[in-house]
Amino acid sequence: MKTLSTSSDPASEVALITGASSGIGLHLAREFARHGHPLVLIAPVQAELDNICSALRTDFSASVSAFAYDLRAESAVDAIFGQLAAIGLMPSIIVNNAGVGRRGRVWEMPVEDDIGMIRLNIEAVVRLTKRALPVLLQRGGGRILNTASVAGFEPGPLLATYHATKAFVLSWSESMATELEDTPVTVTTLCPGPVDTDFFVKADMIDTDAFQKARLLAPQEVAEAGYKALMAGDRIVVPGAMNKTLVFSRRLLPEAAQARANEKLYKRTDASKRKRERGEVEADAAAKEARAL
């Protein structure tokens, strides 16, 4: 395990976080701010980013910059680094968190949905990492956190393209971590299971077993685990004991059995058994956090 830092004070390392306006990305921003890191936040809507920046400054006295970009656009990464250069800022930590999923059978899904997932979940991660990595190596250190998923370990009928994109992120990140072993740059892959975020809303999955019946983690819990693993130089982190067991056990199953299990998970739950609403787990975690302050 590498525990290298670009400075004597790791908390001084500037962190760039994509997908920072909601879900895991928002709580990663809060986790980094809590530990004193200056932040650069990326998400598509500037008004949402401005509100988050204001909250981070109020809650943590954080130093925050925010740029609104849709990372599915080929020009977005170059534009972001152009703005960073203009203000004389180069992050030491790159957090590739932005991602999207969409439920549906392969032949029924509009190809534009598949391409959008590939562009955001894969292409944007590759472009941002390859733009930043040479600079981090030249400067003598840095950290990269890529958000994959337990979905990356196995096939996922009804969520086929999403699973495939996360398999790419997982494999690519593990390979890159090995290539960088003798350098001062670390790569950590965050692999959460089901998390109470807007992912399920956008993916049309609120009424599936994956949301209604699975053990949902709070995004705060996932963000904390990701931050700790990144700063420790760990290669992979799977938050939650249940998810760790699932990843291990399914690696022992034939791929066809894994696929059938996930297809069942992504089917619609009977209406009479739908009791969970988006935000309940996240709100409970926020309430506990507030009581602890």
Given 162, 202, 213, 244, which residue is catalytic?
A: 162
Question: Is 73:52 a contact under the CB 8 Å cutoff?
Answer: no
Set 2, 69, 130, 166: catalytic member: 166
Grouping H, G, I as helix, E, B as strand and the rest as coil, residue 68 is strand
Establish whether 162 is a catalytic residue.
Answer: yes
* Cα 138 off chain centre by: 26
Structure tokens at 292: 């602890």
Q: Is 69 a catalytic residue?
A: no
Please give the Cα distance from 255 to 154 (Å, whole number). 7
CA nearest to 39, candidates 18, 62, 60: 62
User: How far, rounded to the nearest angstrom, does the alpha carbon of residue 246 sit from its chain's CA centroid?
Assistant: 19
Helix or strand or coil: residue 142?
strand
CA pair distance 247, 83, nearest whole angstrom = 40
Report d(CA 200, CA 102) in Å as an integer: 9
Helices and strands: H and E segment counts in the chain: 12, 7
Q: Which residues are catalytic?
A: 162, 166
